[in-house]
Amino acid sequence: MQRSKIAGIGYYVPKNVYTNNDLSRFMDTNDEWIQERTGIKERRFADRLEETTTTMGVEAAKIAIERAGITAQDIDFIVFATLSPDYYFPGCGVLLQREMKMKEVGALDIRNQCSGFIYALSVADQFIKTGMYKNILVVGSEKHSFAMDFETRSRNVSVIFGDGAGAVVLQAAQNEDQGILSTHLHSDGSEAEILAMFYPGSHANKWLKDKPAYPDQELGGLFMTTEQLEGGAALPYMDGPAVFKKAVVKFPEVIKEALTANNLTEKDIDLLVPHQANLRISQYVQQLLGLEDDKVFNNIQKYGNTTAASVPIALCEAWEAGKIKEGDLVCLAAFGSGFTWASALIRW
């Protein structure tokens, strides 16, 4: 069975830069507070009226397609990962196909939040391995800024996220020593509600009624009242310390799983590209695995957490900076809401 390889890669981030000090104009926070907890210095926010999750994905896709030496008409399948789609339905995959004027190809949308890109990469990998498709476009794109609450009550969440997109073109590898060696996908929904956005959702009231963030509210129906909206019922909910504790366990676990599956060790890794959730998580995992600074790539300082887009943006930046060379062993890893977590091991 043939392996798949990343034949082209690209990323796009909006031009609008918002520093931590910029956010302090809207909420009770400061640069020191944010950097100490997350490592983030600034993030990019899309133009509210002109840019969408799809249009950012298109910009990243154009670069990836050009670098793969093909055209948009050569793409025969799309896998689009996002938690912030343009519409509740339809998904962004068909919107990207329309924007890029592609032929009538299959389009699959992936909803795995922070691990969405690696899940999408794994799905595309299977299609290439079986020979069903030749050129698959895999996109991770997010526009968080349009739905975030920039008030002090939401600072634990809103200071973390940014907008952007990354994309790769997957093809069959001609060199048997090159390509995706393996992917590893996991989930555990037992504590799904400690990182979730409950609305829209028919089961939301059950989980909101006992939450201290929403006291004394009569959440009787699916449609929210003005009081419920003002109380924050439509905002993301996150128990940050609980998420951190899970992440620092599952991140190294899934990385070691990939290495073991390929008879390799941590010393064989040339570059680890983790999902950019929190710089403190990445640093903890780096220390646990015994990796030197030049073996781990982080860019959360510049872009914040771009969820499904964070891995391809970081991977592309690392490649453009010359940190990834042919023959290098590259490990991708992510953990996020669900909870889901995943890894991919690639011989570049």
In this structure, are 335 and 275 located in the same domain?
yes
Flag whether pLDDT at 272 surpasses 50: yes
Residue 204 lies in a domain: no
CA 242 – CA 194 distance, rounded (Å): 8
Neighbouring residues of 245: CB distance < 8 A, sequence distance ≥ 6: none
The pLDDT tens digits for 291-309 are 999 999 999 999 999 999 9
- CA distances to 33, 168, 311 from 64, rounded to whole Å, are 37, 5, 15
Residue 223 lies in a domain: no
Residue 225 lies in a domain: no
Bond into 200 cis (ω within 30)? yes
Residue 58 lies in a domain: yes
Q: Which of residues 228 and 257 earns the better pLDDT score?
A: 257
Mean predicted confidence (pLDDT) in 339-344 = 98
> Phi and psi of 46, rounded to 5°?
-70, 155
**Tell me, what CATH number does 91's domain have?**
3.40.47.10
Mean predicted confidence (pLDDT) in 209-220 = 48
CA 118 – CA 308 distance, rounded (Å): 8
In this structure, are 148 and 184 located in the same domain?
no
pLDDT band at 268 (very low <50, low <70, confident <90, very high): very high
Annotated catalytic residue within 135, 144, 275, 299: 275
* Model pLDDT, residue 233: 62
For residue 335, the SS3 value is strand
Q: Is the dihedral of CA 272, 277, 283, 286 positive or negative?
A: negative
In this structure, are 97 and 183 located in the same domain?
no
30 is catalytic: no
Q: CA angle 320-92-314, nearest 5°?
A: 20
In this structure, are 184 and 284 located in the same domain?
yes
* Model pLDDT, residue 222: 46
316 is catalytic: no
Residue 11 lies in a domain: yes
Lowest mean pLDDT among 1-10, 168-177, 222-231: 222-231
In this structure, are 118 and 184 located in the same domain?
no
Beta bridge partners of 342: 185, 334
344 near 285, Cβ under 8 Å?
no
Lowest mean pLDDT among 18-32, 195-209, 211-225, 314-328: 211-225
| Run of H or E residues at 5 | strand 4-12
Percent of residues, the chain, with pLDDT higher than 70: 90
CA 301 – CA 276 distance, rounded (Å): 9
For residue 99, the SS3 value is helix
* Domain count along the chain: 2
Instruction: Report residue 281 as tokens.
Output: 């998580």
Mean predicted confidence (pLDDT) in 8-36 = 95
Q: Which amino acid is at 161?
A: F
Residue 124 lies in a domain: yes
Find the domain containing 331 and state its range: 179-190+238-347
Q: Which of residues 204 and 240 earns the better pLDDT score?
A: 240
Find the DSSP H helices in the chain. Answer: 20-23, 31-38, 53-67, 92-99, 116-129, 155-158, 204-208, 226-230, 240-261, 279-289, 300-303, 310-320
Mean predicted confidence (pLDDT) in 341-348 = 98
* Model pLDDT, residue 337: 93
Flag whether pLDDT at 217 surpasses 50: no
Mean predicted confidence (pLDDT) in 106-115 = 97
Rounded to two decimals, the pTM is 0.92
Per residue, the 3-state secondary structure of 247-295, as one string, reads: HHHHHHHHHHHHHHHCCCCHHHCCEEEECCCCHHHHHHHHHHHCCCHHH
314 near 173, Cβ under 8 Å?
no
CA-closest candidate to residue 259, choices 268, 250, 251: 268
CA 110 – CA 91 distance, rounded (Å): 9
In this structure, are 186 and 132 located in the same domain?
no
Residue 145 lies in a domain: yes
* Model pLDDT, residue 197: 82
User: What mean pLDDT value characterizes the chain?
Assistant: 91
Dihedral, CA of residue 323, residue 288, residue 112 and residue 195, to nearest 10: -130
Mean predicted confidence (pLDDT) in 94-98 = 98
The pLDDT tens digits for 153-201 are 888 889 999 999 999 999 999 888 899 999 999 999 999 999 888 766 5
103 near 73, Cβ under 8 Å?
yes
Name the CA radius of gyration of the chain, rounded: 20
Flag whether pLDDT at 223 surpasses 90: no
Annotated catalytic residue within 114, 278, 298, 299: 114
Annotated catalytic residue within 278, 305, 316, 331: 305
114 is catalytic: yes
Residue 343 lies in a domain: yes
> Phi and psi of 272, rounded to 5°?
-100, 125
Flag whether pLDDT at 226 surpasses 70: no
CA 334 – CA 337 distance, rounded (Å): 10
The pLDDT tens digits for 53-72 are 999 999 999 999 999 999 99
In this structure, are 13 and 158 located in the same domain?
yes
Q: Which amino acid is at 206?
A: K
